[in-house]
Amino acid sequence: MTTVRAAARVVWAGLAVLAIGTVGYVVIEGVSTFDALYMTVITITTIGFSEIFPLSVAGRAFTMVLALAGVGIMLYAVSTVAAVVVETDLRKILGLRREHRMIRRMANHIVVCGAGRMGRGVVDILRRRGVEMVVVERDQERCRELEDDDILIVNGDATQSNVLLEAGIERAATMISSLAEDAHNVYTVLLARQLNPTITIIARAVEEGSEERLRLAGANTVMNPYRIGSMRIAYTALKPTVIDFLDASLPGTDQELEMAEVPVRGGAELAGKSLAGAQVRTRFGVIVVALRRGDTSLFNPSPDSLIEPGDVLVALGPVQAIENLEDACE
């Protein structure tokens, strides 16, 4: 039974008793409607005021029945409210336990610290991509919004080691720190690097000059959204066609193009073949923009470039074509 239905039943039951009591006194004792209503209220609430008009034998019998009905309604209201509270708390407790169990089983996931305006945008994109993630956020209202979207959350301060451990930071593959202040981002990066030395950390820089501090703290990649935004605006004015093409390769647009990193697994169908021999362009309909091998990236690789296990192909093409290429590289 939902909270709204429970409250509605209590209200309707109370109104029904009030109506029956008022009509009963008017019919039995012949008093005014207001006096009958007043007598009904003090009877069902057991206030104990004296009778405002003489009661006949039938009126007294009716009053006893009305008093018992009033006590019953009050007990019903109290029990209903208690049941709603207990049910809500129980659902919350069970939900938290379920989330904790799921987080403890996760590995190689992404931990997103901060679900403000920018962090929430990151979370939405990752969710659409079906990426396993845990969000760390201390604002209760934001946590409720994330819960409504079935996103695993840890309600707490990301600058506390126990909170990061609760999010499974020691088993995570990537952490994105998108807190509102640079000092908090620096401290979170330091903690994450200490708890998981191999994790990939992406940090948001809020102020100019904070990028270097975040890198020294252990961030692999630091992004300043204001600088990126200003560059985007400038290049939109200078090279609008190029920007439109890049927009088409980003997720969430109306275009069917996508630029993706496609790792080549050991034993994959394309492993050991050249780009020309694998017929990447003609068979899959994608363009390999770059080939990354270890720390080296080869831009615009030649058709004779070999595809080896462990390589990462940076490919551009329709979404379905990219998915077919990913299948061939598994």
Are 236 and 287 in contact by the 8 Å Cβ rule? The answer is: no
Q: How confident is the model at residue 222 (pLDDT cuts 50, 70, 90)?
A: very high
Are 217 and 186 in contact by the 8 Å Cβ rule? The answer is: yes
Between residues 38 and 185, which one has the greater pLDDT? 185
Is the pLDDT at 315 greater than 60, yes or no?
yes
The per-residue pLDDT for range 173-188, each reduced to its tens digit, is: 999 999 999 999 999 9
Is the pLDDT at 252 greater than 60, yes or no?
no
Between residues 176 and 89, which one has the greater pLDDT? 176
Position 98 scores a pLDDT of: 65
The closest of 295, 330, 290 to 314, measured between CA atoms, is: 290
Position 101 scores a pLDDT of: 78
Query: Phi/psi of residue 160, each to 5°?
Result: -105, 130
Q: How confident is the model at residue 237 (pLDDT cuts 50, 70, 90)?
A: confident
Q: Please give the single-letter amino acid code of residue 288.
A: V
Angle at 67 between CA 18 and CA 55, to 5 degrees: 90
Measured over the CA atoms of residue 117, residue 126, residue 185 and residue 134, the dihedral's sign is: positive
The structure tokens listed for 94 are 């069970």
Q: Please give the single-letter amino acid code of residue 270.
A: L
Q: Which of 2-11, 157-166, 184-193 bottoms out in mean pLDDT, i.e. has the lowest? A: 2-11
The pairing of beta strand 312-318 with beta strand 133-137:
unpaired
Is the pLDDT at 14 greater than 80, yes or no?
no
Residue ranges of domains in the chain, CATH in brackets: 3-101 (1.10.287.70), 106-229 (3.40.50.720), 240-329 (3.30.70.1450)
The owner of tokens 């890049």 is 246
Distance of CA 265 to the CA centre of its chain: 32
**Which residues pair with residue 154 across a beta bridge?**
136
The per-residue pLDDT for range 111-150, each reduced to its tens digit, is: 999 999 899 999 998 998 889 999 999 998 898 888 888 8
